Amino acid sequence: MENIRITLLDGSEKEFPKGSSISEIIKTINISLSKKALAAKLDSNQLVDLSHKLQKDHKLDILTFESKEGREVFHHSSAHLLGQAVQRLWKDALLTVGPVVESGPGFFYYDIDLQSTTITPEDLPKIEKEMEKIVKENLEVNRKELSKQEAIRQFTEMGEKYKVELIEGFEAETVSLYGQGEWFDLCRGPHVPNTALLKAFKLTAISGAYWKGNKDNQMLQRIYGISFPSKKELDEYIHLLEEAKKRDHRKLGKELELFTFNDEAPGFPFWLPKGTVLWNMLADYIRKECFQHGYQEIRTPSVLSSELWKRSGHWDNFRENMYFTHVDENEFAIKPMNCPGCSLVYKNAIHSYRELPLRYAELGMVYRHELSGVLHGLFRVRAFTQDDAHIYTPFEFLEKEIIDIIDFTLKVYNKFGFYEFKTYIATRPEKSQGRDEDWEEATKTLQLALEKKDIPFGIKEGEGAFYGPKIEFNIKDSIGRLWQCGTIQIDFSMPERFELDYVSSDGKKKRPVMIHRAVYGSLERFVGILIEHYEGKFPLWLSPVQVRILTVSETHSDYAKKVFDVLIQNDFRVELDARNEKIGYKIREAILKKVNCFLVLGDKESAENSVSVRKRGEEKTTAYSLAEFIEAMKQEIDKD
């Protein structure tokens, strides 16, 4: 019998009979792994089911729930489980699409046309019970390929008009179906080998969604869900969801009076006075750090000619996310990114190699058209401020500059209590510009920089910017969630498009390499992350209200005003509560507002020129002279 050679992820090679299925191969390698295997990847790019039979030599990667691709397979199979349960319960239910998602109230959803009834939250336990039944049936999941016409015929007979519409839009002449028990669905796969693996799940939300996202189409019912290989993992995640719900920045933003949204400007945040303090503190901090790291701050216009965006490549690669206007009968665009404007600043003067690396920083507001369905508090808005920087450097300094940016980025994150990260290099996407050799060189430089800093990293294939590869920093917050924030992107393309150059040591003109760098990513989104990370309990240096003064009665108002004025003169952010309310009521409100500390001022304090201080999270009250309190506050701020 003819054998084939299989190369495993660790580089080892083994021979197997030609025609062996992947599941058979895994069982000979590692029985424990075979119990966790969900699907496989061949030759680094082809995702296949475990039942797939191998006819030639391959590089084989076994996908488990530990990998991103393995989780996607698991969650996609969970969507099929949901679809089958719904169609068992409601015979007239028509299924549309059931994808995996990275954000929102679940890991997967299914959009369903069910005109006979409206599914309510009270129906979810019933659907879950049917899903549990399907899991216990241990149904084998099978793949089948049909001609396009045969698939259309089958789904037409079933009345599945949405599936027919999808198939008619396919270019390929064959389509794949996945079946489990009596049920099957249109899908390219891969999927888990049997339903018994989908042990732990929960349906989390119901919403409406238009077919294909078009408001002129049928309104569908969208059911979201989460799923895990074990109940323990599911319970841990549900606990995380409950904790995250308490920290929801939209809820806390309203309670702490930080920001708001209005129907007059959907997707555009309005910063309230306390939120503006928070925003300014972040801006001031990053400005200071940039100055100390050799950056010069610039400001560029928000409205620029469409010709600029055509030259930069954004017109071809980003136009659907841009806003346009006309000025003097000429077309202009509101900037979605800061980099083209920064390149015009660079081009404003002749530069010598002695000036480089030249670092420009810009807190630039950008505008991007996001669909209303994806808007989400401060996390997904239509206008936001990037802590952008663009560095122009000779190629020979590129690696050193990347390392310096890494150090700078980690220093900023540590300031806010972020010490754990997941780091990735995102490589060339399908829709991109530039020479292959430049992309390869840039990607290699990013890898070398991370290796020299001893930072582990993963690869996100095809997820780079259209002009170059990038490093992505994912910060882990206080409850273990990861947030993608900072990026370092290498760009050979824009200096070429804008004809940017510098005079080298031999007197000749050369192109610099352009580095795009952001640490917060977006100030708006970073504020949202910090609200949830701190649960609204900001450190003293950052807090919008550091001190709240509470009077025991109206007779103490004069002394309270004196204390207020002294604290303001010492640059503290202070609120005075001199209302004619009981002191217990004022204390409870101060606790709810999460101020760092509040001062209770009564007869004793007025007579002794002192303050009684209660810090956030503490039950005890401590007496200080006013001077002692001010010194203690300044020391705490310096410590932060």
Span 300-353, pLDDT tens digits: 999 999 999 989 888 887 888 889 999 888 999 999 999 999 999 999 999 999
Q: Is 540 within a domain?
A: no
Q: Do 388 and 460 sit in the same domain of this protein?
A: yes
Average pLDDT over residues 549-577: 94
Half-sphere exposure of 626 (CA within 13 A, CB side): 19
Judge whether residue 4 has pLDDT over 80: yes
Average pLDDT over residues 590-610: 93
CATH code of the domain covering residue 614? 3.40.50.800
Q: How deeply is 101 buried, as exposed, middle or buried, from its count of CB atoms within 10 A (0-12, 13-18, 19+)?
A: middle
Q: Which of 7, 71, 13 is nearest to 39 (CA)?
A: 71
Residue labelled with tokens 């393309």: 493
Judge whether residue 596 has pLDDT over 80: yes
Q: Is 249 within a domain?
A: no
Q: Do 232 and 275 sit in the same domain of this protein?
A: no
Q: How deeply is 538 buried, as exposed, middle or buried, from its count of CB atoms within 10 A (0-12, 13-18, 19+)?
A: buried
Q: Is 312 within a domain?
A: no
Q: Is 171 within a domain?
A: yes
Judge whether residue 63 has pLDDT over 90: yes
CATH code of the domain covering residue 195? 3.30.980.10
Q: Among 87, 180, 221, 386, which one carries the catalytic annotation?
A: 386
Q: Which of 512, 534, 556 is the last residue of a domain?
A: 534
Q: Among 71, 470, 525, 548, which one carries the catalytic annotation?
A: 470
Q: What pLDDT is recorded for position 1?
A: 66
- Which residues, in sequence order, are CB contacts of 302 under 8 Å at separation 6+? 334, 335, 365, 367
Q: Do 217 and 284 sit in the same domain of this protein?
A: no
Q: What pLDDT is recorded for position 174?
A: 94
Q: What angle do CA 393, 396, 397 make, to 5 degrees?
A: 50
Q: Among 339, 342, 485, 597, which one carries the catalytic annotation?
A: 339
Mean pLDDT score of the chain: 92
390 is catalytic: yes
Q: Is 318 within a domain?
A: no
CATH code of the domain covering residue 19? 3.10.20.30
Q: Do 484 and 576 sit in the same domain of this protein?
A: no
Q: What pLDDT is recorded for position 453?
A: 95
Q: Is 59 within a domain?
A: yes
Q: SS3 string of 355-399?
A: HCCEEEEEEEEEECCCCHHHCECCCECCEEEEEEEEEEECHHHHH
Q: Which of 23-27, 374-378, 382-386, 566-570 has the lowest mean pLDDT?
A: 374-378
Q: Among 52, 75, 390, 614, which one carries the catalytic annotation?
A: 390
Average pLDDT over residues 185-201: 94
Q: Could you tell me the two tokens for 52? A: 């797939």
Q: Do 524 and 581 sit in the same domain of this protein?
A: no
Measured distance CA(496)–CA(488) in Å, rounded = 19
Q: Do 388 and 517 sit in the same domain of this protein?
A: yes
Q: Which of 121, 175, 123 is nearest to 146 (CA)?
A: 175
> Maximum CA pair distance of the chain?
100
Half-sphere exposure of 501 (CA within 13 A, CB side): 8
Q: Do 379 and 296 sit in the same domain of this protein?
A: yes
Q: Is 292 within a domain?
A: yes
**Tally of structural domains, the chain:** 4
222 is catalytic: no
Q: Do 163 and 58 sit in the same domain of this protein?
A: no
Residues β-bridged to residue 482 = 476
Q: Is 122 within a domain?
A: yes
Q: Among 52, 314, 335, 368, which one carries the catalytic annotation?
A: 368
- Cα four-point dihedral sign 361, 366, 368, 370: positive
Q: What pLDDT is recorded for position 450?
A: 95
Q: Do 58 and 177 sit in the same domain of this protein?
A: no
Q: Do 530 and 553 sit in the same domain of this protein?
A: no
Per residue in 404-425, pLDDT (tens digit) is 999 999 999 999 999 998 999 9
Judge whether residue 240 has pLDDT over 70: yes
Q: Which of 480, 512, 534 is the last residue of a domain?
A: 534
DSSP run (H or E) holding 40: strand 39-42
Q: SS3 string of 414-450?
A: HHCCCCCEEEEEECCCCCCCCCHHHHHHHHHHHHHHH
Q: Do 609 and 529 sit in the same domain of this protein?
A: no
Radius of gyration, CA atoms only, the chain: 29
386 is catalytic: yes
Q: Among 61, 388, 438, 477, which one carries the catalytic annotation?
A: 388
pTM for this model (two decimals): 0.79
249 is catalytic: no
Q: What pLDDT is recorded for position 103?
A: 66
597 is catalytic: no
Q: What pLDDT is recorded for position 416?
A: 95
- Domain coverage including residue 386: 259-301+336-534
Measured distance CA(25)–CA(15) in Å, rounded = 10
Q: What percent of the chain has pLDDT over 90?
A: 76
Q: Do 53 and 132 sit in the same domain of this protein?
A: no
